[in-house]
Amino acid sequence: MLIRDGWQVLALVFFSLCSYAEEQPELSNVSYAIEASFHTIHFHHNDEHNDRQNLIGIERRDASTVMGATVFKNSFNQDSQYIYWGKRFPLQDSEYGLRARVTFGLLHGYRGEYKNKIPLNRFGVAPAILPSLGYTTRYIEGDVVLLGINALLFTISIPFAFSQ
């Protein structure tokens, strides 16, 4: 179910982002990235925790802002989604290298007995702020994302752009 519904959500977000980019012709530096997770480290061991989130996402970027959507299995193996907007902050004087990022968005998917595992989870949706530290090269990026006070998520992204 996650894959079918998740791909539909990602396709909708992707085409919306492409449409937005077409409305902004002056933004010649717009790019995209496909993101996937490969491991999670929880700070407190719990046999219920899922350390493989199977996260996949799409992100639209311009000079310093990002917006995107991800689908994943949360720490309790429930299908979840995160839709966000954020900023990238280069930590070196180059477009490649070390950088920080912070995203703000809506997190959905913590249900049942786990609905109170994230703060402010009303109607199954909660606000989230996710800071990360990453390294950018021309062809691949890696990030370590802080998931509140609970875990670190490790991701890899492949950036790409559409030529005009």
Which residues, at least 6 apart from 85, have a Cβ–Cβ distance to it below 8 Å? 65, 66, 67, 103, 104, 105
CATH of domain 2-21+32-160: 2.40.160
Cα 149 to Cα 89: distance, rounded to the nearest angstrom: 22
Could you tell me the pTM of the whole model? 0.81
78 has pLDDT over 90: yes
pLDDT band at residue 93, thresholds of 50, 70 and 90? Answer: confident
The tokens describing 18, both together, are: 């492409």
